[in-house]
Structures are given as C-alpha cells and as structure tokens.
Amino acid sequence: MKTVGIVLGVLAAFVVLIGLWFMGTYNGFVGRREAVNSAWAQVQNVYQRRADLVPNLVETVKGAANFEKSTMQAVVEARSRVGSFTVDKSVLNDPEQFKKFDAAQGQLGGALSRLMVVMEKYPDLKATANFRDLQVQLEGTENRIGVERRGFNEAAQDYNTAVQRMPGAIIAGMFGFKTRPYFEAQVMAQNAPQVKF
C-alpha cells in the first residue's frame, strides 16, 4: 500500500512538472509573439512618420524649384501605393501581404533617394530653411526605419527559433504559433545609386 502511494505521488509530481513546463513554453511563445507585434508597431510608427513627412517635402520642393516632374511623380505615386495598404498585425500572418507591403515601402524609399539626389542640382532649394529642416527629418526617419526593421527582425528571429525548436514545436503546432516573415533588403539595394548631373 505504501508503494502504491509513492508511485501515485511520483506520477502526480511528474504530471505537475509536465503541466508547468507546458504552461511555461506556451507563455514563452505568447511573450515572444507579443515582442514581434510590438516591434512591428514600431516599424509602422516610423513608416507613418515618413508618410507624414513626404507631402511636406513635396510641397516645399514644388514651391522652391521647378525641376524634374518624373522624380516628383515617382515620389507621389510611391507614397500613394504605400497609403493604399491597410496595415495591421494580420500582415504578419500573411507572407505574401508582408512582401507587398515591404515592396511598396521599398519603392517609396527609392523614390525619396532619387529625389534627394536630384535636389543636389538646386542650390537655392538646399539653402531654404524649410527644405533643410525637412531633409534632416527625413534622413532621421530613414535611419529610424533601419533601426526598427532590425529590431523587428531580431524579435522575429527569437520567436521563429522558439516556434521551430523541439519539443516546443509540438506546442507551437498545437496552438497555431507560426513563423513570422523577415524584412529583407530590396533587390535594387545591392547596387549603389548612380548620381548623374
């Protein structure tokens, strides 16, 4: 009888330990998923900042210079494409939507880079205080975007690693924890921009 009690006690302790491990693993996934969501919110925040700055930059440039309409049009169209996305956390669960969002942001970034290069031809424009202030704001925003994208990728890597490691992968599969996509460099980012005057 004493032996049965010991065996039942050991089994109960084993069940409790498994339950605690299970809860800890599940809660770990939840914490990592929320870290990814938080990092995503920061990425969206800096993209919104850029989207808010672009109209001011465009208007300042229009008012100060009469220059290449194709470059200005590219910026306006790229911003319009970015604005057409309804972006929320569901984008993180759809790799195809994530790629489209990232591509639209890449096009806007490229158009803004071309705008900055073209504006080097206009010394009067560079001398205006409004333009200088907007340029500094935009450059700072582009740096923030890089920092936040790196932070997002780090959070996604931590989460994706946890979701795929055994034995946690079993719990992840049971409760629908799926890997999240990463931000990747645009294809055109591998080539340095050419500046021609």
First-last CA distance in the chain:
94
> Please, are residues 61 and 131 in contact by the beta-carbon 8 Å criterion?
yes
Q: Token digits for 77?
A: 């169209």
Indicate whether this model's pTM tops 0.75: no
Question: What percent of the chain has a predicted confidence (pLDDT) above 70?
Answer: 65
Q: How many CA atoms lie within 13 A of 59 on its CB side?
A: 6
| CA atoms of 101 and 91, how far apart (whole Å) | 8
Three-state DSSP class for residue 179:
coil
Architecture of domain 2-190: Up-down Bundle (1.20)
Please say if the pLDDT value at position 172 is more than 80. yes
Please say if the pLDDT value at position 194 is more than 60. no
Strands in the chain per DSSP E: none
**Domain limits of the chain?**
2-190
pLDDT tens digits for 30-50?
898 888 888 888 888 887 777
Please say if the pLDDT value at position 108 is more than 80. no
